[in-house]
Amino acid sequence: MLVLALDTATPAVTAGVVRLTDGPDARIAELGVRVAHDARKHGELLMPGVQGACADAGIRLREVEAIVVGTGPGPFTGLRVGMVTAASLGDALGVPVHGVCSLDAIAQAVVLPGKLTGNLLVATDARRREVYWAAYEAEGARLTGPTVESPDAVAERLDGLHLVAAAGTMAERFGLPVREPASPTPAGLVAAAAPALDSGRTPGPLEPLYLRRPDAVPPGERKKVRT
């Protein structure tokens, strides 16, 4: 199966074409990957990345059989770019679109080589002096999260999780050995969605993981002015 994988939950604007073979000996192979780093230009950079990844893979976009997109957690504007693009392409191509937690995708990319000996922390920048984070078993199953908190609050919660490494853009804040990648990879995104892709089940609605309320709020009732 040829899968287009997209993620805009971090400053890395990621697009890739991945071949997924099903069955007990499933294999994930990245055929073409384009990554650009600019937190302010997700909209401008994503589709050129898609086209470049398809060209590197030697395929036409219409040959894609499924799409996987990171659903965050991440900033509101950047996250919407990836999810709206994925939904639009899925509709135009007539292929299913599967959403996965972007932190899960990072964890899957770390554990794919099979060399992790303990649990993993994944932490990315949530701005406002906070991080998005989740913890994972060595095989990639999520233990807790995703949550948004200050790094100090996260550090207080790590006792007892038996962590041996950290990954993500904020991994260096926690005094653990740092593993790559810092951002979701196409292979990690597809690995996170592999059970759904293999089963052929219809994906549910794409639900963004913002983890905090938007800054903008509806205006309140106007106060009456007495004369």
- 126: domain CATH number is 3.30.420.200
Measured CA to CA, the distance from residue 72 to residue 110 in angstroms comes to: 18
pLDDT above 90 (res 10): yes
Q: Are residues 146 and 157 in the same domain?
A: yes
The angle formed by the CA atoms of residues 144, 120 and 80, to the nearest 5 degrees, is 65
Domain membership of residue 220 (yes or no) is no
Q: Are residues 20 and 128 in the same domain?
A: no
Measured CA to CA, the distance from residue 115 to residue 211 in angstroms comes to: 31
| Average of per-residue pLDDT values in the chain | 92
Give the model's confidence band at 217: pLDDT under 50 very low, under 70 low, under 90 confident, else very high.
very low
Give the model's confidence band at 213: pLDDT under 50 very low, under 70 low, under 90 confident, else very high.
low
**Contacts within 8 Å (CB) and 24+ apart, 138-141:** 138/111, 139/111, 140/104, 140/107, 140/108, 140/110, 140/111, 140/191
| Residue pLDDT, tens place only, 146-195 | 999 999 999 999 988 999 999 999 999 999 999 999 999 999 999 999 99
Q: Are residues 13 and 86 in the same domain?
A: yes
Q: Which residue type does 222 have?
A: R
Q: Are residues 32 and 122 in the same domain?
A: no
Residue reference for tokens 């095989």? 139
Instruction: For residue 36, give the CATH number of its domain.
Output: 3.30.420.40
pLDDT above 80 (res 225): no
More confident call, 184 vs 223: 184
- The pLDDT of residue 200 is 86
Domain membership of residue 208 (yes or no) is no
Measured CA to CA, the distance from residue 169 to residue 180 in angstroms comes to: 9
Residue reference for tokens 């890395």? 12
Q: Strand 12-21 to strand 2-7: parallel, antiparallel, or no bridges (unpaired)?
A: antiparallel
- The pLDDT of residue 112 is 87
More confident call, 130 vs 25: 130
Q: Are residues 35 and 91 in the same domain?
A: yes
pLDDT above 50 (res 120): yes
Q: Are residues 77 and 108 in the same domain?
A: no
| Residue pLDDT, tens place only, 28-45 | 999 999 999 987 889 899
From residue 176, alpha-carbon distances to 14, 23, 227 in Å are 26, 35, 65
- The pLDDT of residue 221 is 64
Number of domains, the chain: 2
Domain membership of residue 15 (yes or no) is yes
pLDDT above 90 (res 219): no
Measured CA to CA, the distance from residue 101 to residue 73 in angstroms comes to: 7
- Enumerate the β-bridge partners of residue 224: none
- The pLDDT of residue 105 is 98
pLDDT above 70 (res 5): yes
Domain membership of residue 83 (yes or no) is yes
Domain membership of residue 210 (yes or no) is no
| Residue pLDDT, tens place only, 42-84 | 989 999 999 999 999 999 999 999 999 999 999 888 999 999 9
Measured CA to CA, the distance from residue 108 to residue 112 in angstroms comes to: 6
Give the model's confidence band at 216: pLDDT under 50 very low, under 70 low, under 90 confident, else very high.
very low
Total residue count of the chain as it appears in this document: 227
Q: Strand 119-127 to strand 163-167: parallel, antiparallel, or no bridges (unpaired)?
A: parallel
Q: Are residues 96 and 160 in the same domain?
A: no
Q: Are residues 15 and 95 in the same domain?
A: yes
Domain membership of residue 147 (yes or no) is yes
Q: Which residue type does 33 have?
A: V
Domain membership of residue 224 (yes or no) is no
Q: Are residues 167 and 191 in the same domain?
A: no
Q: Are residues 190 and 94 in the same domain?
A: yes
Q: Residue 195 is part of which domain span?
A: 2-101+184-199
Q: Are residues 89 and 155 in the same domain?
A: no
- The pLDDT of residue 47 is 97
Q: Are residues 195 and 94 in the same domain?
A: yes
